[in-house]
Amino acid sequence: MSSFIDSLVRPSIGRLKAYHVEPFEARVILDANESPYRLPDKVLESLFIVMAGTEFNRYPDPSAYMLRKMIANKEGVPENGIVFGNGSDEIIQSIIGAFCDPGEKILTLSPTFSMYKQIATYFSVETVEAPLKDDWSVDLQAIKETMAREKPKVTFIASPNSPTGQRYPKETLHAIVESAPGIVVVDEAYVDFSGSPPDEFDSPEVIVLKTFSKIGFAALRLGYMKADPAVANEVEKVRLPYNVNTATQACAVEVLKRWDQIASQFEKTKEERQRVFNALSSIEGVTVYPSEANFHLIRINNDPEKTFRSLLDHSVRVRWFKGDPRLSDFFRVTIGTPAENDAFLKALPKSV
């Protein structure tokens, strides 16, 4: 049976590995960049009421009318400039599906969010990578040269970037947009944890990605993009019908009504991020990099596997980029609650 299936599956898919999360058990979970905070009681109460009134026997609103209206108002864009997805992963898939034929190219920085390349492979679209400098900053000249040579249809820029945590200067992003031969996607999954407001782009070829997953609602699986209505219209054509369920739509509307209560938690994360950075900076055998996201990238200067296993023995789970050409000595560590961060900071010096 295996050889029969092997003869049918596309070779590019056969070479892939399915997305997989290792099921390491631990009390302190710092590997997924989730918010560690329970929702405020008032928000939870409103969600319970909404769920009780949901008609589960009916299909979702295909246009997500109420949610669309509220997001457009929050973002200051036309309602027809918004496209929703089952997480931002699905929107990435829709963007590549809308603009790239098989054999064409996307451009990403490297290292960055792995799903850009993974999803491109599904469509037989080639990924061209522009390596970041050793300090994780952008090599702008190299990107311009790569764009001129490879002519990517879509360029993906995560800012703040995962896993490095850097947010790129406004001037750098605009220079990339000006040089790009096609669509530029600016992925702002972590921008709520940055120290300054989101960048504004006037160029019609720019798509900005957002997600609810990092700010306390990973379970909702809700992402959205904002773009020029003409661009959004093309992406909308490949969006799967009813892709955002009724419960997610209703809960997201309630969240937006109480946004100030949610936003206060961002400040807690930023304060903890600085405290953790200061503590990590004093631990021998560890190099920590500044971050404008809800995590830190750290380098383990000796034996990362020993350190990773030891942290698990202390019931602390972090993300290890095992086998990555540039990141095999690195961990990405989510900023948790103060107690979770204390547990990590207590275990790490015993583990390096």
| pLDDT tens digits, 87-100 | 999 999 999 999 99
Is the pLDDT at 1 greater than 70? The verdict is no
Is the pLDDT at 294 greater than 70? The verdict is yes
First to last CA, the chain: 46
**In which residue ranges of the chain is CATH 3.40.640.10 found?**
41-257
Give the pLDDT band of residue 174 (cuts 50, 70, 90): very high
Which CATH fold would you assign to the domain 41-257? Aspartate Aminotransferase; domain 2 (3.40.640)
Q: Which of these ranges, 113-127, 174-188, 258-272, 321-335, has the smallest mean pLDDT?
A: 258-272
Token reading at 144: 């311009």
One CATH from 1.10.1200.10, 3.30.450.40, 1.10.287.1400, 3.90.1150.10 for 10-39+261-351? 3.90.1150.10
- Pairwise CA distance, residues 280 & 179, whole Å: 38
Q: pLDDT by residue (tens digit) across 115-124?
A: 999 999 999 9
Give the pLDDT band of residue 229 (cuts 50, 70, 90): very high
What is the pLDDT, as a whole number, of residue 51?
Answer: 87
pTM score: 0.94
Query: CB–CB of 132/108 below 8 Å?
Result: no
Residue 60's nearest CA partner among 332, 251, 218 is: 251
Query: CB–CB of 133/160 below 8 Å?
Result: no
What is the pLDDT, as a whole number, of residue 95?
Answer: 98
Query: CB–CB of 32/293 below 8 Å?
Result: no
- Pairwise CA distance, residues 205 & 195, whole Å: 26
- Region of 176 please: left (phi>0), alpha (psi -120 to 50) or beta: alpha
**In which residue ranges of the chain is CATH 3.90.1150.10 found?**
10-39+261-351
Residue that is written with structure tokens 């019931």 in the block:
315
Phi and psi angles of residue 292, each rounded to the nearest 5 degrees, phi first: -115, 25
Give the pLDDT band of residue 108 (cuts 50, 70, 90): very high
The mean pLDDT of 229-258, rounded to a whole number, is 95
Which 3-state string (H, E, C) describes the chain? CHHHHHHHCCHHHHCCCCCCCCCCCCCEEECCCCCCCCCCHHHHHHHHHHHHCCCCCCCCCCCCHHHHHHHHHHHCCCHHHEEEECHHHHHHHHHHHHHCCCCCEEEEEECCCCHHHHHHHHCCCEEEEEECCCCCCCCHHHHHHHHHHHCCCEEEEECCCCCCCCCCCHHHHHHHHHHCCCEEEEECCCHHHCCCCCCCCCCCCEEEEEECHHHCCHHHCCEEEECCHHHHHHHHCCCCCCCCCHHHHHHHHHHHHCHHHHHHHHHHHHHHHHHHHHHHHCCCCEEECCCCCCEEEEEECCCHHHHHHHHHHCCEEEEECCCCCCCCCEEEEECCCHHHHHHHHHHHHHHC
What is the pLDDT, as a whole number, of residue 78?
Answer: 96
